Homo-oligomer: A and B are copies of this chain.
């Protein structure tokens, strides 16, 4: 079996599809998580009442654009990849913030804000509690982001991209899931590579059978952290999970926090990549930015080791500050660090 390569002759390196979310980040202690029934490190979907109740109890916060695939898109742009993002905002102030930030990051934003009755749910926000161990615990109020349908997606973009990058979180909404299946169908027809992130252990729990099916038949490049890949195969041991994923997709990038990452390719190669040391402040976006680094290098023809190392360098920047979006020019950072 030959190694998977990115297609040539495309105007776009990566087309990302995901939830358009503004993050609301505050530093809390562990007891805050317990009081509000949160599972540390997870993402919980939160109805508006619960979101209000959590927010009113939260310490002073900062608002920073987020969203998993959107963070990856911002990272790719900072790495000089050509990148577009599709996701749904409302015509409210947070929608304006999201659209401004992703465009200002250099990403082509393909999303008309929902208006009128459709916009009533508001732009999605994610209440993120950052504990002293730098772990982030997320409570997402999906708002209009959860109303993404095939109608919101310009499918003609798919054949123009080397890679489409899709987040597992979208599986929680039936219409969005159907939209992503359409994207995968178009990608298969056009030779566009499909990258997919498992997003969250509980998200994997909710959609295990479908995730196993799409990884087998539609996904070329899988991104997962240790918790997610173990959840997918319902095993406790990381190496067992890594053995299980081999052969089900062309490339699987498995991240392990400060233990680095392991990349498994379907031709039997296993590449171990070290983490890049960083002053750990907030792990929000670490996985999203690892994916940005990996893909930015891979679409330019880098091998798995260099692609993984680029992911590690970029993830280290993400965890050294509050919020997921890059605070420095990642292209310059990577040139100095590789």
Binding site for B on A (CB under 8 A): 26-27, 55-56, 58-65, 74, 92-94, 97, 100-102, 104-105, 122, 323, 325, 327
A55 to B101, CA, bound (A): 10
A65 to B65, CA, bound (A): 15
Closest Cβ–Cβ distance, residue A186 to chain B (whole Å): 30
Given A93-B92, A93-B94, A62–B62 Cβ distance below 8 Å?
yes
| A61, B100: Cβ atoms closer than 8 Å | yes
Q: A60-B101, A61-B101, A92-B93 are in contact. List 6 more A-B contacts (CB 8 A).
A: A59-B105, A60-B65, A60-B74, A63-B64, A93-B93, A93-B94
| A60, B93: Cβ atoms closer than 8 Å | no
Chain B residues within 8 Å of A58, by CB: 100, 104
A93 to B90, CA, bound (A): 12
A61 to B94, CA, bound (A): 12
| B97, A63: Cβ atoms closer than 8 Å | yes
Copies in the complex: 2
A327 to B27, CA, bound (A): 9
Chain B residues within 8 Å of A100, by CB: 55-56, 58, 60-61
5 closest cross-chain pairs (CB), A and B: A63-B63, A60-B101, A93-B93, A60-B104, A62-B64
A58 to B323, CA, bound (A): 18
Chain B residue, CB-CB nearest to A26: B104
Closest Cβ–Cβ distance, residue A289 to chain B (whole Å): 14
| A59, B94: Cβ atoms closer than 8 Å | no
A94 to B58, CA, bound (A): 16
Chain B residue, CB-CB nearest to A125: B93
Chain B residue, CB-CB nearest to A325: B60
| B62, A323: Cβ atoms closer than 8 Å | yes
A97 to B94, CA, bound (A): 11
| B59, A104: Cβ atoms closer than 8 Å | yes
Closest Cβ–Cβ distance, residue A142 to chain B (whole Å): 16
A56 to B100, CA, bound (A): 7
Chain B residue, CB-CB nearest to A25: B62
| B60, A63: Cβ atoms closer than 8 Å | no
Chain B residues within 8 Å of A122, by CB: 93
Query: Can you list 7 pairs linking A and B with CB atoms under 8 Å apart?
Result: A58-B100, A60-B105, A61-B97, A61-B101, A62-B62, A62-B63, A92-B93
A326 to B16, CA, bound (A): 36
Chain B residue, CB-CB nearest to A97: B63
Chain B residues within 8 Å of A56, by CB: 100
Closest Cβ–Cβ distance, residue A279 to chain B (whole Å): 13
Chain B residues within 8 Å of A94, by CB: 93
Closest Cβ–Cβ distance, residue A27 to chain B (whole Å): 8
